[in-house]
């Protein structure tokens, strides 16, 4: 079959927002009515505390995001929930009042549409929460509840809170706060399908699907795709799959996945032995041991063999997220390592995604330390912000960096070089992850080259050799 993915994704630059930590709006009437007790914005984040960020705050920061060059926003969950991360869904049709409610979302959708910024929401459809009406009815009425078959009840009595007793129902990774849906129940299936349709009708541009591999009901994600795409053929469906995702990327389910298979070798190559292994708590995101350019090239080539090229162009590429420690901390605060990884991110096929605050030097360890409040401007790493702006501008300026063919042309020692080609446009990208300057020699195809980013000395020799001298821990782009 011919695989088709949304065209806008191939040109997009995403920004991942954790709403409670990005920005507080000035007109969140819902929060003012509740007057909740909030943690200080600048205080160390905790597992259960709220800081009070909301969607009005996102609207206030759209000028900043547009100036950065962002064209799409991926939000971690925004539906009503009793958790700061909102993966414990109470109501799939209600935007959390602490985030400003449905009124704030409608205002956000209008403001982003006016700026041609897309919105992708987090769909948590594997599990709900103890506060979800249908499960709460079971807690209230036991075996008399009409919603028993919506979940996987295994015995009585249910123990939703007392960890000393068996929960007696299936939950995600045995977390009794997250009862797992019975997706084989046609009513559950239809309920989730209608949620997917509803928010696309409300104007969202796609769904990021949380732990979709846990949903094993045959045909479930195929139907989800068909029904969402029937409303908007250009809606983006991206799954949270950390490993080989061929099972879901056959053209009948997801358009792409969160591309951790790109992140891991990229960090291992650019950061090497600077990676702080104590901040890695997931074997599927383990950028160690250090690798050289040849091994990096092999891993990237292996990645390219997994999927159709159309899928690669719609992958959600990232370096860190709300589920990992922040990259700046992982690399031990080494800005050069972070910049090299980011350079590779913005020159790779697929849509690059920035975890909020990475562009201004926000650091943090394992959850919840990776979820600090977005700092005041006086605490921004301005040089790093400018670096991100320049790379994003280049990606927008040169379509070859978006959809051009990818070919590795130099993989020696710690220098990795490749080119992106689209029609007559040809861009060369070289990265030296080593501690010493390094010279790469290539056969040249033209007599003059122009460096458009970075620091490198490029000499066209008389014997048809192109010499590229790249300083240590630096990268360059030239045409």
Q: Rounded to a whole number, what is the distance in angstroms from the first to the last CA of the chain?
A: 36
Question: Quick check: is 210 catalytic?
Answer: yes
Strand partners for 151: 181
Annotated catalytic residue: which of 240, 292, 320, 359? 240
Annotated catalytic residue: which of 20, 54, 205, 210? 210
User: At a CB cut-off of 8 Å and minimum separation 6, what does 116 contact?
Assistant: 71
Question: Quick check: is 240 catalytic?
Answer: yes
Q: Which active-site residues does the annotation give?
A: 210, 240
């Amino acid at each position: 079959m011919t695989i088709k993915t949304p065209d806008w994704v191939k040109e997009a630059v995403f920004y991942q927002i954790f709403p409670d930590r990005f920005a507080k709006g000035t007109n969140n009437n819902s929060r003012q009515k509740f007057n909740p007790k909030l943690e200080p914005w600048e205080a160390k984040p905790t597992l259960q505390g709220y800081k009070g960020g909301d969607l009005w705050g996102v609207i206030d920061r759209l000028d900043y995001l547009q100036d950065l060059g962002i064209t799409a926003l991926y939000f971690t969950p925004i539906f009503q929930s009793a958790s700061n991360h909102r993966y414990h869904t109470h109501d799939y049709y209600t935007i959390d009042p602490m985030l400003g409610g449905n009124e704030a979302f409608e205002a956000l959708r209008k403001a982003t549409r006016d700026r041609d910024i897309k919105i992708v929401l987090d769909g948590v459809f594997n599990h709900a929460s103890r506060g979800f009406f249908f499960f709460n009815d079971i807690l209230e009425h036991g075996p008399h509840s009409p919603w028993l078959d919506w979940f996987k009840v295994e015995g009585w009595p249910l123990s939703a809170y007392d960890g000393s007793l068996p929960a007696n129902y299936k939950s995600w990774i045995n977390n009794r706060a997250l009862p797992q849906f019975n997706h084989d129940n046609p009513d559950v299936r239809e309920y989730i399908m209608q949620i997917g349709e509803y928010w696309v009708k409300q104007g969202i541009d796609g769904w990021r699907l949380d732990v979709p591999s846990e949903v094993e009901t045959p045909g479930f994600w195929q139907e989800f795709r068909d029904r969402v795409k029937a409303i908007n053929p250009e809606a983006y469906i991206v799954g949270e799959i950390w490993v080989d995702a061929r099972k879901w990327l056959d053209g009948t389910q997801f358009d792409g996945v969160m591309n951790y298979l790109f992140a891991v070798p990229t960090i291992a190559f650019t950061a090497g032995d600077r990676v702080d292994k104590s901040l890695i708590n997931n074997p599927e995101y383990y950028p160690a041991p250090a690798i050289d350019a040849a091994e990096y090239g092999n891993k990237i080539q292996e990645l390219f063999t997994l999927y159709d090229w159309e899928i690669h162009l719609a992958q959600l590429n990232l370096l860190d997220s709300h589920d990992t420690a922040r990259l700046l901390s992982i690399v031990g605060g080494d800005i050069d390592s972070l910049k090299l990884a980011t350079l590779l991110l913005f020159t790779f096929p697929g849509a690059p995604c920035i975890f909020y605050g990475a562009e201004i030097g926000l650091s943090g360890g394992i959850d919840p330390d990776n979820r600090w409040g977005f700092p005041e401007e006086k605490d921004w790493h301005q040089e790093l912000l400018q670096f991100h702006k320049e790379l994003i501008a280049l990606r927008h300026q040169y379509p070859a960096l978006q959809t051009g063919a990818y070919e590795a042309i130099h993989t020696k020692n710690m220098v990795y070089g490749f080119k992106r080609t689209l029609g007559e446009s040809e861009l060369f990208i070289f990265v030296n992850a080593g501690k010493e300057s390094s010279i790469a020699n290539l056969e040249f195809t033209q007599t003059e080259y122009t460096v458009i980013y970075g620091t490198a000395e490029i000499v066209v020799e008389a014997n048809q050799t192109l010499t590229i001298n790249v300083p240590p821990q630096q990268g360059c782009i030239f045409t």
